Amino acid sequence: MFLSNIQHVYAYWGMSVLFLSFGTASSHQLRKDLTSHPNWKLLDRGDDCGHNVADRIIGGDEATLGQYPWIARLGYTYELDESNSVDTYECGGTIINSLYILTAAHCSPDIVMLQLAEVRLGEHNVTSDPDCVDGVCAPPVQDIVVDEYLCHEDYDTKSYQNDICLLRLANPIQFNNYVTPICLPAYDTFLKASFDSSTMEVAGWGVTDIVTGKASTILLTLRVPIKTQFLCELAYSGRSEIINKQMCAGGVIGKDSCSGDSGGPLMAPFALNAPPRYFVVGIVSFGPRQCANTNTPGVYTKVSEYMAWILDNIRE
């Protein structure tokens, strides 16, 4: 189950679509252990996920308006003193339904030591609202208060294992063409497939210059190569234990996800019994200190391994 399991098609809608070739195209089945879960109805949107209007990042290109409508920015409040505070956006996340954002546990208030105030949805250019490109304008951004957060009970701050967290919003998201949920890897295929040597995408407003620490004002996107589990473990040998619930991508000098992209999605469009839709495959977790300055890949939390945990921890 290696390269032969994945076929790349680059001409479909201008996307690099991954076709997982286990059996016939109609053989991809939703995992029964998930569909029988009482909370499955909260995530089951059929084919109505992972679509865009066009059907942490160094060396990335600007995303088009509405290219990743499931991307969320996590807004924190830093208290300067009793009467003054500063708002800052430090992490990313992914919309999975109208009330929940998927992100990394290391982005939780307990870890960053900041108050997690809100999530911002529908953002593209942080200096303008609404965002307009060539006369086409997206609706104004949605800022929604975070009601509560729940991170994995076995999250390890040293190894970053189980680096996954759910944010529950105080009010439902108002979906539109520029704010929609991504698809979750609930198909059994995602547990069987090896994505070795395939290419996936990351996006965010993270640091674009490691010297100055300057962050991008426009959403950036970058294609990153998936590394084998062997190479992933080898890259971090002696530094951190990599388990099968983690995966590696990147390792190209000058191109990586950095800082403000933490908690954001590693994603790709897949054709599974339907036209291509974007699925979240990983969550940006950690990487080398000299981001994009070495050939060490970044590490991501493998979402398919946590689908049952997600279902156990969401509610209406």
The domain defined by 70-182 folds into Thrombin, subunit H (2.40.10)
Active site annotation includes 106: yes
Active site annotation includes 152: no
Using CA atoms, how far residue 182 sits from 45, 88, 100, in Å, is 10, 25, 11
User: Active site residue: 131, 163, 188, 196, which one?
Assistant: 163
Can 3-38+183-304 and 70-182 be said to share one CATH topology? yes
The token duo for 12 is 């479909």
Active site annotation includes 28: no
Using CA atoms, how far residue 153 sits from 9, 96, 165, 244, 313, in Å, is 39, 20, 10, 18, 11
| Ranges of each domain in the chain | 3-38+183-304, 70-182
Consecutive 10-residue runs of the chain (316 residues): their mean pLDDT? Answer: 32 50 55 92 86 61 89 92 85 97 95 91 95 92 98 96 98 97 92 86 79 80 92 91 94 58 92 85 86 77 97 97
Query: What CATH code is assigned to 3-38+183-304?
Result: 2.40.10.10
**Predicted local confidence at residue 172, as pLDDT:** 98
Task: Please answer whether residues 206 and 259 qualify as being in contact, where contact means their C-beta atoms are separated by less than 8 angstroms.
Answer: yes
Backbone dihedral angles phi then psi of residue 261, each to the nearest 5 degrees: -90, -5
User: Active site residue: 106, 188, 196, 257, which one?
Assistant: 106
User: Active site residue: 216, 257, 262, 285, which one?
Assistant: 262
**Predicted local confidence at residue 110, as pLDDT:** 86
**Predicted local confidence at residue 258, as pLDDT:** 56
Return the exposure string of 106-142: e unless at least 16 CB atoms fall within 10 Å of the residue's CB, then b: bbbbebbebebbbbbbbbbbbeeeebeeeeeebeebb
